[in-house]
Amino acid sequence: MAASGTTTRSSAKRDALLDTAEGLFARHGYRAVGIDAVLAAAGVAKMTLYKHFRSKEELIAAVLERRGNAIAAGLAKRITAAPEDPGTRLLAVFDWLEQAVRSPEFHGCLFIKAASEYPAAEDLPRQAAEAFKEGCRDLLEGLCRDLAVADPEGLARQLQLLFEGALVVAFLQRTPLAAADARRAAEALLASAPRTGQAGGGHR
């Protein structure tokens, strides 16, 4: 291939490694899956792995980065496909969530698990997880700002709680029902949020 370029970057073997690693890590956890298991399942030699990634942690970080980009793309697609109404666009995030936890490949949030298993601030997986979840909150914040609510940042934080909570509960209970609950709760929060220019706390 002419455009292959320097060394790393996209490569069939590299992609196979990332695909396989993502699946195994999702199903069994990061520390429970050894490098050799990934190698065997991907049909790749060990040296090839260490040519692309300096360490297992770096492989994990790469998996998370790729997965994060894929999620961001899927989310953006859903949002732009939604009608103009800002409320509907915001709720599209929860529609995406519903579809995500319904997928047979869903085994809990890769990022939450990564932060759990590599909890030190200097661990690469932890950093990748923090960055991704911050991006999620930023996305929600942007959508909330399009609403005529008095405190879009606060609403975004509340919605993120529903989002993460649904991921956790769907994983723990092995059922996607939590996503629908999250959507309903999001609708309620949205409807009862104080509008711009309005004083006070919603009810009373």
Partner DNA sequence: GCCTTAGTAGACAGACCGGTCTGCGCATCC
Partner DNA sequence: GGATGCGCAGACCGGTCTGTCTACTAAGGC
Residues present in the chain in total: 204
**CA–CA dist 1, 156 (Å, integer):** 46
| Region near DNA per CB under 7 A, out of 42-50, 67-75, 132-140, 178-186 | 42-50
Interface with a copy of itself includes 169 (CB under 8 A)?
yes
Q: Decide which of a copy of itself, DNA, none touches 102; Cβ closer than 5 to 8 Å per partner kind.
A: none
Q: Name the residue nearer to a copy of itself (CB basis): 82 or 169.
A: 169
Specify the long-range contacts of residues 159-162, CB closer than 8 Å, at least 24 apart.
Answer: 159/90, 159/93, 159/186, 159/189, 160/133, 160/136, 162/94, 162/186, 162/189
11-19, 21-29, 63-71, 145-153 -> range binding DNA (CB under 7 A): 11-19
Q: For residue 131, how many other CB atoms are within 10 A of its CB?
A: 14
Which of 23, 41, 51, 123 contacts DNA by CB under 7 A?
A: 51
Q: What single-letter amino acid sits at 119?
A: P
Mind giving me the DSSP string for 9-24? SS-HHHHHHHHHHHHH
Q: How far is CA 173 from CA 28, 29, 34, 79, in A?
A: 17, 17, 27, 28
Q: What does 67 interact with, of a copy of itself, DNA, none (CB < 5 to 8 A by kind)?
A: none
> 25 or 96, CB closer to DNA?
25
Asked whether position 4 contacts DNA by CB under 7 A, the answer is yes
Residue 191 beta carbon to a copy of itself: minimum distance, rounded to whole angstroms: 4
* Residues of this chain that bind a copy of itself (CB under 8 A): 27-29, 31-32, 107-108, 112-113, 115-119, 129-130, 133, 154, 157-158, 160-169, 171-173, 177-178, 181-182, 184-185, 187-189, 191-193, 201-203
